[in-house]
Amino acid sequence: MTLRKDFLWGGAVAANQCEGAWNVDGKGMSTADCMVASHHGVQREFTDGIIEGKYYPNHEGIDFYHHYKEDIKLFAEMGFKCFRLSIAWSRIFPNGDDETPNEKGLEFYDHVFDECLKYGIEPVVTISHYETPYALVEKYGTWRNRKMIDFYLRFCETIFKRYKNKVKYWMTFNEINVNGFFPEMTMGLRIKEDENRNQVIKQASHYEFVASAKAVKMGHEINPEFKIGMMMMYPTFYGETCKPEDQLCAMEQIDKQYYFSDVQCRGYYSNKAKASWKKEGVVLDITDEDEKALKEGVVDYIAFSYYNSNVASSREDVECTDGNMVNAVKNPYLKASDWGWQIDPIGLRIALNNLYDRYQKPVFIVENGLGAKDQVKEDGSIDDDYRIEYLKAHIQAMKDAVEEDGVDLMGYTPWGPIDLVSCGTGEMQKRYGFIYVDRDDLGNGTLKRSKKKSFDWYKKVIETNGEVL
């Protein structure tokens, strides 16, 4: 078995990290617009609205809103078969609960998709990617309110019908399992100290599951050719030792992630999920109609992000790495990135096998990459061999999963084909791209685009369908 002839090579971005133009052409404020810049080791602050004197890097991003033609042309030069991007909900429905959509917002994505299709690039669209109209936070508490299902479905119906002949591949929510530990970012939740955190998160997640399932069913009715997937962050977990308690700990950690994918891929909550409710004192509002919807709206494929693996330990006095989104024990056998993310290509192969074996649905790697500090030489060139080395090893592991293990893999879209604002820290110096953007952590710079060494390398990878690495 080799990679499909129609393998979807490309790259992935999110609207809130690249578009900018945060209040242009009728766009409303989103939760991502309230994220303050930070740095390595310090979690970003979410403010209540915009506070004067604080720096919000997402407001301008890399101004993809005005540079999309130039950027997509560069993606086409690399030979992209697809481009994963998201639609900013507040660009289409500024307040989230509006009766009618913002035409200017719809037109923008028409132009972006047309530009992609001009070069034979398939748009792969994430419907909700870490941003929710901020008005929904103030008015409804976002996803803690069942009304959110209808608001989300109105958004989905609008974009499904508008782009039914331009977009084939969709994902309902980005990294939905991150709800479990960072719901402020994923769902815009504001949880009070005296609340049962698990109760709030799991109830909100349930409403998202129902919304996703109903969107899948609706999408297939609007265009039976649509392929609609779920998307999760996949953190491969190893037990620190062969001590049974460590192995149990690793199992428990990954089960917390499967809680989310199980519902979307199988259409029901597992016995283990239900057992967790009892343990955590969680009582969910689940109707018969909800259960029917979950069964009827199972996803077509599983998309996931993979950057690093994690170690689980039953010991309390262990050294943790601060880089991984899931704060986990340091692995002495692995190197780490400048931001402490542990580099493990074999972990990607394990992730692919685990997901495909568990669900028997096509899988799609929609994020993978290395955040690093790039140095621009006097002649303007950027030698990012470290990025090439990282990606090469992960693509080889991906190929091994297909060729040796028989995994059905749809495509590969490394994160950040162009430099953009870091999600976790709001930095620009944490660069992922094949394309350099002249902008720093304080918002200074010309926004000029330039190719890194990895640009031509990735072009060759795509050209040979992964045969030349």
d(CA 32, CA 16): 6
Residues counted in the chain: 469
Q: Is 367 considered catalytic here?
A: yes
* Two structure tokens written together for 361: 């649905």
Catalytic residue among 115, 131, 175, 208: 175
Catalytic residue among 122, 208, 240, 367: 367
d(CA 438, CA 440): 7
* Two structure tokens written together for 242: 């062969």
**Three-state secondary structure of the chain:** CCCCCCCEEEEECCHHHHCCCCCCCCCCCEHHHHECCCECCECCCECCCCCCCCCCHHHCCCCHHHHHHHHHHHHHHHCCCEEEEECCHHHHCCCCCCCCCCHHHHHHHHHHHHHHHHCCCEEEEEEECCCCEHHHHHHHCHHHCCHHHHHHHHHHHHHHHHCCCCCCEEEEECCHHHHHCCHHHHCCCCCCCCCCHHHHHHHHHHHHHHHHHHHHHHHHHHCCCCEEEEEEECCEEEECCCCHHHHHHHHHHHHHHHHHHHHHHHCCCCHHHHHHHHHHCCCCCCCHHHHHHHHHCCCCEEEEECCCEEEECCCCCCCEECCCCCCEECCCCCCECCCCCECCHHHHHHHHHHHHHHHCCCEEEEECCCCECCCCCCCCCCCCHHHHHHHHHHHHHHHHHHHCCCCCEEEECCECCECCCCCCCCCCCCECCCEEECCCCCCCCCCCEEECHHHHHHHHHHHCCCCCC
Q: Is 378 considered catalytic here?
A: no
Q: Tell me the catalytic residues.
A: 175, 367
